[in-house]
């Protein structure tokens, strides 16, 4: 199937202080997206400080070198813009969308907190309480809270970086100090450990001048050495269950390790497509079999990475399948049916038109995600950070279309039960 490349302009350079910059001008609408991405995420936080990467993301909004608390909010919103930040397994991002005439303001705000956030006892205590409340709302008091992204990694992995709770324990959060925060900032929020990306309505030379003006004098600090988080693949099936008193129905999720998404990208891509072949749309294999025909699940989904970010994750990562079941549904039957469908796919291959349909849907989603300037800026920033290749964004739809039926069949053949980790949600009853 032929899906063309996109042609977004990409200009990249590095400031003397080590900060990498990506600029992608697009004069079609008077709006800009600004993203600053730091190469630190959940996997980087130290033992005894679970949840610290996410806590620090909150602290970055509590004032900065020259701005008081809440000033960032006022200046972005006062310019007609929106902003946010998020913590991921392998990076933390901060971003704004604004009218194009606010570009300098957005760059100043990001540069100011890159120089230093306001790390005070008051701000720390306040944000610890905010994060704890977020955990209560999103995990402890929500049906299926943390399923499967918090619950499945400790089944699949053994090391602390890969297996621990990225939201954090209350004990670890309450033990955090201002000195811990300052050390975390000095280590991970260095210019050499970050990228700045701007997409949208601007003149290239003008944007470069603004970046140099506001970020050029941020003190230089090198990027820290990134540990190798790799672990051996599973040699035997791992499976656990837990009781969720708030869950109305049972659920199950399973994961299999996949090739390194950075160093073995061509081997990794077939798994990205395979997840969609199995679960994307009513004609997808597992939807047709388990939802529409056998009716053993009420929904099923598949994706790459525990946070569903196939092109913004490093190794080790996995392909996940998750399903919600009807009352008295059987997780054993669901897993056995998945095994049957994977065996059938590995043996018989794809039906006529099955791959082309899936690739067309995937390309549509990719194009839609990067049509907005912020989506473009964020993806380019992470691609620069992890691959030094932000222009890969232009090639992704085309590369997806180049995955072959034989590669899908070979990927399915690797997903054997002895390589599987799974987690089952038991609603309100006793643990199995």
Q: pLDDT tens across 297-328, in order?
A: 999 999 999 999 999 999 999 999 999 999 99
In the prediction, which pLDDT does 431 show?
Answer: 45
Q: In what order do the strands lie in the sheet with 299-304?
A: 238-244, 420-427, 251-257, 318-324, 299-304
Whether the pLDDT of residue 432 is over 60: the answer is: no
In percent, the amount of the chain with pLDDT more than 70 equals 99
Please give the Cα distance from 331 to 290 (Å, whole number).
12
Please give the Cα distance from 103 to 98 (Å, whole number).
7
Tokens of 211: 């970046």
Mean pLDDT of 101-111: 98
Backbone φ/ψ region at 266: left (φ over 0), alpha (ψ -120 to 50), beta? alpha
Whether the pLDDT of residue 293 is over 60: the answer is: yes
Pairing between β-strand 20-25 and β-strand 194-200 as defined by DSSP bridges:
parallel
Mean pLDDT of 25-41: 97
Backbone φ and ψ of 124, nearest 5° = -65, -50
In the chain, what are the domains? 11-215 (3.30.830.10), 238-427 (3.30.830.10)
In the prediction, which pLDDT does 363 show?
Answer: 94
Average pLDDT of the chain to the nearest whole number: 96
Whether the pLDDT of residue 2 is over 90: the answer is: no
Mean pLDDT of 152-166: 97
Whether the pLDDT of residue 366 is over 50: the answer is: yes
- Would you give the end-to-end CA distance of the chain in angstroms? 47
Please give the Cα distance from 64 to 66 (Å, whole number).
6
In the prediction, which pLDDT does 405 show?
Answer: 97
Mean pLDDT of 152-167: 97
Of the pLDDT bands very low, low, confident and very high (cuts 50, 70, 90), residue 429 is low
In the prediction, which pLDDT does 428 show?
Answer: 87
Q: Where are the beta strands (DSSP E) in 164-274?
A: 194-200, 238-244, 251-257
Whether the pLDDT of residue 239 is over 50: the answer is: yes
Closest CA to 251 of 191, 327, 308, 156: 327
In the prediction, which pLDDT does 4 show?
Answer: 82
In the prediction, which pLDDT does 145 show?
Answer: 96
In the prediction, which pLDDT does 142 show?
Answer: 96
In the prediction, which pLDDT does 52 show?
Answer: 96
In the prediction, which pLDDT does 430 show?
Answer: 46
Of the pLDDT bands very low, low, confident and very high (cuts 50, 70, 90), residue 283 is very high
Mean pLDDT of 250-270: 98
Whether the pLDDT of residue 1 is over 80: the answer is: no
Whether the pLDDT of residue 118 is over 60: the answer is: yes
How many residues belong to the chain? 432
Bridge partner residues of 321 (DSSP): 254, 302
Of the pLDDT bands very low, low, confident and very high (cuts 50, 70, 90), residue 227 is very high
Closest CA to 29 of 196, 197, 202, 198: 202
């Amino acid at each position: 199937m032929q899906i063309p490349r996109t042609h977004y302009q990409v200009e990249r350079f590095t400031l003397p202080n080590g900060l990498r910059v990506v600029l992608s001008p697009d004069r079609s609408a008077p709006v800009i997206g600004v993203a600053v991405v730091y190469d630190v995420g959940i996997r980087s936080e130290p033992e005894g400080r679970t949840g610290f990467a996410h806590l620090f993301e909150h602290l970055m909004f509590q004032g900065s070198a020259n701005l008081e608390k809440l000033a960032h909010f006022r200046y972005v919103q006062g310019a007609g813009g929106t902003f946010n930040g998020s913590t991921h397994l392998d990076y933390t991002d901060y971003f704004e969308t604004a009218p194009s005439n606010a570009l300098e303001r957005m760059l100043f705000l990001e540069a100011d907190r890159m120089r230093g956030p306001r790390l005070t006892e008051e701000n720390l205590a306040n944000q610890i309480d905010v994060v704890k409340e977020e955990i209560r709302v999103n995990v402890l008091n929500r049906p299926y809270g943390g399923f499967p992204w918090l619950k499945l990694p400790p089944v699949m992995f053994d090391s602390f970086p890969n297996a621990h709770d990225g939201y954090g324990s209350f004990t670890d959060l309450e033990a955090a100090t201002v000195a811990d925060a300052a050390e975390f900032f000095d280590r991970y929020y260095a210019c050499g450990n970050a990228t700045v990306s701007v997409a949208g309505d601007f003149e290239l030379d003008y944007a470069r001048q603004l970046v140099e003006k506001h970020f050029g004098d941020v003190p230089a600090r090198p990027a820290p050495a990134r540990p190798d988080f790799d672990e051996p693949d599973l040699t035997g099936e791992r499976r656990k269950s837990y009781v969720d008193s708030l869950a109305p129905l049972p659920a199950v999720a399973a994961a299999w390790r996949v090739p390194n998404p950075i160093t073995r990208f061509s081997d990794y891509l077939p798994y990205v497509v395979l997840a969609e072949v199995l679960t994307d749309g009513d004609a997808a294999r597992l939807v047709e079999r388990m939802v529409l025909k056998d009716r053993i699940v009420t929904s099923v989904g598949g994706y790459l990475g525990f946070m569903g970010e196939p092109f913004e994750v490093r190794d080790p990562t996995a392909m996940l399948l998750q399903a919600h079941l009807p009352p008295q549904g059987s997780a054993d039957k669901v897993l056995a049916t998945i095994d049957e469908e994977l065996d059938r796919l590995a043996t018989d291959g794809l039906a006529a038109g099955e791959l082309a349909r899936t690739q067309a849907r995937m390309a549509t989603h990719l194009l839609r995600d990067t049509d907005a300037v912020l989506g473009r800026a964020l993806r380019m920033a992470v691609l620069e950070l992890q691959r030094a290749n932000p222009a890969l964004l232009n090639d992704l739809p085309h590369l997806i279309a180049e995955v072959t039926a034989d590669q899908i069949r070979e990927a399915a053949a690797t997903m054997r039960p002895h390589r599987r980790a799974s987690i089952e949600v038991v609603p309100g009853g006793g643990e199995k």
